[in-house]
Amino acid sequence: MNAIERAADRLRTAQLHHTPCPPIRDLIAATDIESAYAVQRLNETHWTAQGRRPVGRKIALASRMVQQQMGIDQPTHGVLFADMCQPEGADIDCATLIQPKIETEVAVILERPLDHTHHTFADLIGAIAYVVPAFEIVGCRVAGWDVSAADFIADNSAGSQLILGSRPRQLSDFDIVRCKMITERHGETVSSGSGAACLGNPLNALAWLADKLVSIGQPLQAGDIIMTGSLGPMATIAPGDTFNAEIEGLGKITAHFDQG
């Protein structure tokens, strides 16, 4: 196997056994973004061949401060599979998660493809079927979250699971920029923020993703779920935790994690 294949195999094995692995920067350089996405695509191809169904994309590192910490100048993306989607109200088994943390986000579901070279906000608004509040459960396959930009991207940008709210809204129903977000664990606030925390506007993140995917020949399609990025800091997850979040004007969402 070459370095890309070895890196993909290491991350895939970690996921299969729910056991963190060493970073892959002994195989590809910590700043080699092109190779990191090659690893990610190789594993996407593998999982798809195994019967997993891609249903959309996630955007990560939407915060400028976090990008600077990672040594990159743009967000990253990863693929979402149907088996990553959990229904609201389900008990999530912590034994299936790896070093999990939780983020509260605006999830966008498309009714039209986004296949232009450069997308305007009018293009985006016209393509969105509805939006819902969502939790993303990020799970890092690299031990101790000891990740460079390349480790993180290769690891599917830490994509693990997601929970979508069950009451869809139209974009016109709330202020996607100024909406406030609060996430609580057992009644205690563990994260807060607003739509503006996500690249100034979650639609900015969506525009970045749509343009980026067109440039590599994989445009977003009708029906795709897009996790647009966290509206506040991540919070760690432990067995027995219950999280409740509200995005002002968009709605509430709950997640419970069992004892594993």
Encode pLDDT of 218-257 as tens digits.
999 999 999 999 999 999 999 999 999 999 999 999 999 9
Label residue 69 by pLDDT band (50, 70, 90).
low
Question: Rounded to whole angstroms, how far apart are CA atoms 66 and 149?
Answer: 10
Question: Rounded to whole angstroms, how far apart are CA atoms 223 and 56?
Answer: 8
Label residue 90 by pLDDT band (50, 70, 90).
confident
In the chain, which ranges are E strands? 54-60, 76-81, 85-87, 91-92, 100-110, 128-139, 159-164, 180-185, 188-194, 225-230, 235-236, 242-247, 251-257
Average pLDDT score over residue span 174-188:
97
CATH code given to domain 3-257 = 3.90.850.10
Q: How high is the pLDDT of residue 180? A: 98
Cα 130 to Cα 40, 113, 228: the distances in Å are 28, 14, 13
Domain range annotation of the chain: 3-257
Question: Rounded to whole angstroms, how far apart are CA atoms 31 and 26?
Answer: 12
- The larger pLDDT score, comparing residue 85 to residue 89, is at 85
pLDDT at 66 over 70: no
Q: How high is the pLDDT of residue 36? A: 97
Kindly report whether the global pTM for this prediction surpasses the value 0.85: yes
pLDDT at 260 over 60: no
